[in-house]
Amino acid sequence: MRNPDHPDCFVVINGPEDGTEFPIVRAPFYVGCDASCAVNVRLDDTVRDFHALVSVVSDGYRIRRNDDAPVYVNGKRAGMLRSRIVRSGGRIQAGNTLLSVECAPDGLASRSHGIDTQSDLGWAVTQVARGVFRLGTGLVRLVTRVFGRLLGSWVGVGALLILLYATWPSFRYHVQHLAFLVYYRLYALVSQLL
Ranges of beta strands (E only) in the chain are 8-14, 21-24, 29-32, 39-40, 52-57, 60-65, 71-73, 76-78, 84-87, 91-94, 97-102
pLDDT for 191 beyond 80: no
- Per-residue pLDDT band at 142 (split at 50, 70, 90): confident
pLDDT for 39 beyond 70: yes
Per residue in 102-111, pLDDT tens?
A: 999 889 988 8
Provide mean pLDDT across the span 115-139.
79
Q: Which pLDDT belongs to residue 155? A: 67
Tell which wins on pLDDT, 150 or 21. Answer: 21
Q: In what order do the strands lie in the sheet with 21-24?
A: 21-24, 8-14, 97-102, 91-94, 71-73, 76-78
Provide mean pLDDT across the span 170-184.
81
Q: Which pLDDT belongs to residue 147? A: 67
* 189: amino acid identity, one letter: L
Q: Which pLDDT belongs to residue 12? A: 96
**Per-domain boundaries in the chain:** 8-117, 125-193
Provide mean pLDDT across the span 147-174.
74
pTM: 0.65
Provide mean pLDDT across the span 21-48.
94
Pick the CATH number of 8-117 from 2.60.200.20, 3.40.30.10, 3.90.700.10, 2.60.40.650: 2.60.200.20
Of the candidates 128, 123, 78, 127, the residue with the CA atom closest to the CA atom of residue 99: 78
